[in-house]
Amino acid sequence: MTIELNSPLDMHLHLRDHEMLNVVAPLTSHSFAGALIMPNLVPPIETLDALLAYKERILTVTKNDIFKPYMTLFFRDSYDYDFLKSFGSELSAIKLYPAGITTNSEGGVSGFDVKKLSPTLEVMSELGIPLCIHGETNGFVMDREAQFVPIYEKLASAFPRLNIIMEHITTKESVEALERHENLYATITLHHLLITLDDVAGGMLRPHLFCKPIAKRPHDRDALLDVALSAHPKVMFGSDSAPHPKHAKESCGCAAGVFTAPLALAKLAEIFMEKSSVANLQKFVSDNARAIYNITPLSKKVILEDNPMNVPHNYGEVVPMYAGESISWSIKSIE
């Protein structure tokens, strides 16, 4: 049995830089036609020169594949019309991080004073630049995303022409918010469709499943599965595949991030097949993103088959999800 996917897209991806970029970028470009590249490098991407140079480095290491990096900027409330206009079509979205909420987000927004953010958000509305948000407060870790929903709603109401993407949603509350505002959208990761907090910390601590936002309760995961499997038009796949070296994960201060890029499509095929929803996979991994971002991806056909994939123990220094285990689907061919 086979599944054919046209131009799969990963609308939330961390590629890092230098050696790490060289290891991980080809693992995405092999099977995806494009990906939205997160800007949380050190220092973050916040100028046109930095963005174009990073894009070139990505294109260099992915040159053997049909792959387009969709580039993003790190949100600053100082960005004005001329500055953002100068990016033209090079800029696909701007990513907003609350200060210190996750990896390399120290320069993010503190306090969420909508008035302070307004001039930049107005310009983004005018230029049609989507706003991607890591939506967590600094409250109790299990409640951070739900506490952020009123902020999403406030922004969505105040800027009705601004497309806001709730990144890597993990809760039922976020799923419900999608229905209340026309301009709210969401990405969903592979790992949040699969795990709950129990998998991370219910038994022995599993550092390779530790990420931000942390996986939540079974009813949250079920709400995510519902909208993903039905390919709700406002949700799209964004892996949030976030590589960290093994020593940074298996340490007493474990870095947040789950690395899923090389197995994402195979595992999605397995899930959608098991849940009798395979007819919706194309929408979840490509068509919805095309409509939400108004993009036409490079043409690429990925054929998956029900032949097991053995997930390696590591890719360079990075340990993937399902390391050493087997997934019942795999990539057969790519055209």
The binder of ligand DOR chosen from 256, 261, 285, 309 (CB under 6 A):
256
Distances (CA, A) of 137 to 190, 252, 258: 23, 24, 21
Closest CA to 164 of 198, 207, 205, 125: 125
Tokens 């690429």 belong to residue: 300
Nearer Cβ to ligand DOR, position 210 or 329?
Answer: 210
Structural contact between residues 241 and 298, judged by C-beta atoms closer than 8 angstroms: no
The structure tokens listed for 163 are 């497309």
Distances (CA, A) of 19 to 22, 23, 243, 253, 258: 5, 6, 12, 22, 18
Nearer Cβ to ligand DOR, position 173 or 240?
Answer: 240
- 65 labelled catalytic: no
- Active-site hit among 198, 240, 287, 306: 240
> For residue 258, how far is the Cα from the chain centroid?
11
**Binding-residue total with Zn ion (CB under 5 A):** 1
Nearer Cβ to ligand DOR, position 257 or 320?
Answer: 257
133 binding ligand DOR? (CB under 6 A):
no
71 binds, among ligand DOR, Zn ion, none (CB under 5 to 8 A by kind): none
**Binding-residue total with ligand DOR (CB under 6 A):** 11
Of residues 182 through 241, those in contact with Zn ion by CB under 5 A are 240
The binder of ligand DOR chosen from 7, 28, 40, 170 (CB under 6 A):
40
The structure tokens listed for 40 are 């949380």
| Active-site residue list | 240
Which residues are near ligand DOR by CB under 6 A?
14, 40, 102-103, 134, 211-212, 240, 242, 256-257
